[in-house]
Structure 1
Amino acid sequence: MTRVVVVGSINMDLVTLASRFAAPGETLLGERFLTVHGGKGANQAVAAARLGAQVALVGAVGDDAFGTQLREGLTREGVSLEHVATIPDCGSGTASITVAEGDNHIIVVPGANARVTPAQVEAAQSVLASADAILVQMEIPLESVEATLRLGQRLGKPVILNPAPARRVPTDWLTLARYLTPNQHELAILLGADTQEDFRTLMQRAPAPVVLTRGAEGAWYRESGEPIHQAGFPVQAVDTTGAGDTFNAALAVFLPEGLPQAVRKACAAAALSVTRLGAQGGMPARAELDAFLARAA
């Protein structure tokens, strides 16, 4: 069983379904509203657990009703919460998501996620030391992202940095990652480049190996030499929320099988995830992924 540690955010997603996106200043009647457990860290932890990994999460929730619900949901998924703090007098993180036209718009309010500290990451050293792969994103303070990268290097563990939401960080941080997993826009921001520049050129300029997601097209990956394409798996998309998180989780879970196989399985898992509503709602179980890959063979 692969052991995965995720350092990242935990949110309650407030999801509105609509026939289209509202224009600026426009009031539009929606079709449905629901609350869904989310946050990039929690999403990746849940996806990895469903794919058969032993998963621990490092993060924080508020001492509110959302925090209680989020903890209960993660516990049901089998995620270890030993290093998830409950922050007094603080709200849990939220993400307001509008789903329309097969796509989504998202606004995140960090809440307790902004209180994840480097000290908390260091306190989880024994858990990170037992990991086969470590996942970290950028919905927590950047100093805690750096602490995760540096601790992973000290421990000799592969850290997958999912640079979302994209922000510029010092180049020496990026060299600490075993893999960067951006989309084209995120990679351009990381490198301070033009977002219209060819993504394959950007991949070759990156200071660490890159696994770049391209939506329905699949993914491209490069450790050395020319980038290699892994084709996507055609499906009928219902909701793309959480597809990137599913991809990253699968990449971590299957990394011991080698990068090409891990990328292929990550593309398949991400494809399955968009066929159902909700970030965590669409994340496949291991048996579903195995059956999907068998049909695609």
Structure 2
Amino acid sequence: MSLSAYDELDVIGGGAASVDRILLVDAPLGDSKGRVLLEQERYGGNVATAMVAAARGGATTAFVGHLPARDVEPGLWQCLRHNGVRLDLARTAPGQPGIRATILVDPDGRRFIAVDDDAPIGLPDDLDLELVRHAKVLLLDGYAVPAGVRAARAAREAGRGVVLDLEKVHHPETELLVDLSDHLVLPESFAVQWTGTNSPARAIAALWRADRCAVVITCGDRGAYFVSADDGTALGTGVLDRIQHQSVPPVQVKDTTGCGDVFHGAYAAALARGLPIAQCVAGATAAAAECATRVGGIPADS
């Protein structure tokens, strides 16, 4: 089934969607041994978690990337559908495997993620670009970079927003993907490494360009720093002076798994509603903080 006359969707994306085995342990991850306090199987992955967050934020969403076969991971399909993510545009094949992850979480909420991702991930190379041109926001991660570049270029040409989530460099064309994205929403660790800087502010200054709408650096419990076109920032003129900070509401942290993904999804949903960037960042920060109070990025009632 395809979109009827390419109905406009708020947010579309394709990237990691996984089945997560989450283990809460009683010792810091640097210790040699500890006890398992809680074990749960949950659903996650960068874009899958973000799409759920966008849908829970009121956006109409569609996952348009690769998914495991429905009979291989029926729970993942059920979870995404239950949360309002449209799946009839996803790409799959009989017997297609999915991503499996084992995640250790220590008492401070820090994580170690071991991933088995020998599976198709990201957008298909032949994605119908009319889907991209008729969606308000395209959400991408660092998988299937050439397909992401193709889709991002189509989105930008159509005047649509491209929100990019990167944690690592997976492909030589990643730099082109960064160039094509007008909403860079990046974790501090990646941003400072990518730019060769030593602070969120310096990373923002290095990443800002006149044709971007926003550069947002997320810093965990230190909140988010950002610059946006909303404030009239000009290329090379006072960028450091215009950087804004969004603090995190106080919460009891249980697990930081999926917090960054929830941030991206909530940001994309707010962007699709036409909210100013400052409001997009504030709402995304609050959603990410709430995520940290529970186990996994997608709520258990999903």
Q: What TM-score comes out, normalization by structure 1 length?
A: 0.84
Q: Does 1:177 align with 2:181?
A: yes
Q: Percent identity?
A: 25
Quote how far apart the aligned CAs of 1:235 are: 0.9
Q: Which moved more, 1:256-265 or 1:182-191?
A: 182-191
| SS of equivalent to 1:181 | strand
Shift of 1:161: 0.5
Partner of 1:205: 206
Q: What is the CA deviation profile of residues 154-200 of structure 1, one whole-angstrom value per residue up to 9, with x for unaligned ones?
A: 32211000112455755443221111111221112333x15xx1221
SS at match of 1:163: coil
Task: Tell me the residue number matched to 1:32.
Answer: 38
Q: Decide whether the 8 Å contact of 1:64 with 1:92 is kept in 2.
A: no
Say if 1:245 and 1:114 are closer, same or farther in 2 by CA, change over 3 A: closer
- Equivalences, count: 276
Matching residue of 1:159: 162
Q: Distance in 2 between matches of 1:115 and 1:79?
A: 16
Q: Which residue of 1 aligns with 2:4?
A: none
- For the residues of structure 2 that align with 1:4 and 1:100, how far apart are their CA atoms? 33
Supply the AA of the counterpart residue of 1:280.
I
Unaligned ranges ≥5, structure 2: 1-7, 234-238
In the superposition, the TM-score normalised over structure 2's length comes to 0.83
RMSD: 2.5
Return the alpha-carbon distance in structure 2 between the equivalents of residues 7 and 236 of structure 1: 31
Residue in structure 1 matched with residue 227 of structure 2 by the alignment: 222
Match of 1:238 in 2: 254
Q: What is the identity, as a one-letter code, of the residue corresponding to 2:85?
A: V
| 1:59 and 2:65 correspond | yes
Name 1:12's counterpart in structure 2.
19
Q: What aligned pairs does 1:239-254 form with structure 2 within 5 A after superposition?
A: 239-254=255-270
Q: Which amino acid aligns with 2:296?
A: G
Taking a change above 3 Å as real, the CA distance of residues 190 and 85 of structure 1, as seen in their structure-2 partners, is: same
Instruction: Name 2:297's counterpart in structure 1.
Output: 279
Q: Using the alignment, how far apart are the partners of 2:84 and 2:291 within structure 1?
A: 19
Structure having the higher helix fraction is: 1
Describe the shift of the 1:283–1:269 C-alpha distance in structure 2 as closer, same or farther (beyond 3 A). farther
Deviations 1:240-280 (A, max 9, x none): 11111111111111121110111111111111111111110
Once the two structures are TM-superposed, the CA of residue 144 in structure 1 deviates from its matched residue by: 2.3
Q: Indicate yes or no: 2:244 matched with 1:258.
A: no
Structure 1: stretches of 5+ with no match in the other structure: 285-297
Pairs within 5 Å for 1:68-147: 68-101=74-107, 102-114=109-121, 116-119=123-126, 122-123=127-128, 125-138=129-142, 140-147=143-150
Deviation at 1:2, TM superposition (A): 7.4
Do the aligned residues in 1 keep the contact of 2:14 with 2:64 (CA within 8 Å)? yes
